[in-house]
Amino acid sequence: MPDAPVIVALDGPAASGKGTLGRRLASHFGYAYLDSGLLYRAVGWRMLREGKDPEDAAAAAIIAAELGENDLKSAELREDRVANAATIVAAHPDVRQALVGYQRGFAAKPPQGAPGAVIDGRDIGTVICPDADCKIFVDASVEVRAMRRLKELQDRGVESIYPRVLRDMEERDARDRNRPVAPLIPADDAFKLDTTDLDADAAFELAAAFIAARNKPDKS
């Protein structure tokens, strides 16, 4: 029987660098990559587009249950207004429940027969894949994350100012960490990677070494 796919659960707050890190780890190990935040963004975006209030749990759950691959492709998913709607819909238990199957299916059978999956999100190591082989919790101070986010916005030509970006980041953090269902917390057995003083290369080296060590045939 072929080995079960290796699952790398990569959790952490907004702008902690886990997206860049996740893509790089996936390509390094030949694993498939899933940005689970896109699922919540897609629900948030459809709510906004259809003129619905993201606080409307019943409407959001219906959209989550109907979500298709095409919903994950809109350019608007990256916008801040969509990120804000995503943090609101992500707090509805029925929305989260509707998205569990897709994420677990991706982990159990990564696309194109890849031997593993890197899934980035908030609750992958705690709720979606509690038995993941490798759990990494990426974090950085909120000030550093806000600076990174500001730079990213400026690089895209979006006008923004630091105090506003910092305030948005603090609000999103509070919603993600304090919600009663699947809050953003590190799994007990997660490798905690603080990237406050690390550049992307240094973070990648540490995470890749952790994964390689966990996947040695003689791992205990």
**Contact footprint for ligand DC (CB under 6 A):** 14, 36-37, 40-41, 83, 86-87, 90, 121-124, 172, 176
Phi, psi angle pair for 137, to nearest 5°? -110, 110
Nearest to ligand DC of 123, 139 (CB atom): 123
Numbers of helices and strands, H then E, in the chain: 8, 5
Q: How many Cβ atoms from other residues are within 10 Å of residue 172's Cβ? A: 21
Distance CA 41, CA 172 (A): 13
Least distance between ligand DC and beta carbon 145 (Å): 11
Least distance between ligand DC and beta carbon 182 (Å): 7
b (16+ CB within 10 A) / e for 77-92? bebeebbbbbbbbbbb
Least distance between ligand DC and beta carbon 106 (Å): 12
Q: Do residues 31 and 110 lie in contact, with contact meaning Cβ atoms separated by under 8 Å?
A: yes
Least distance between ligand DC and beta carbon 42 (Å): 10
Nearest to ligand DC of 73, 213 (CB atom): 73
Nearest to ligand DC of 182, 211 (CB atom): 182
Q: Which two tokens stand for residue 169?
A: 């980041």
Q: Compute the Cα dihedral for 87, 89, 93, 97 and give only its sign.
A: negative
Distance CA 29, CA 127 (A): 24
Nearest to ligand DC of 2, 181 (CB atom): 181
Nearest to ligand DC of 30, 189 (CB atom): 189
Q: Give residue 133's identity as a one-letter amino acid code.
A: D
Distance CA 190, CA 171 (A): 25
Least distance between ligand DC and beta carbon 11 (Å): 7
Least distance between ligand DC and beta carbon 87 (Å): 4
Largest CA distance in the chain: 55
Distance CA 162, CA 212 (A): 38
Nearest to ligand DC of 40, 191 (CB atom): 40
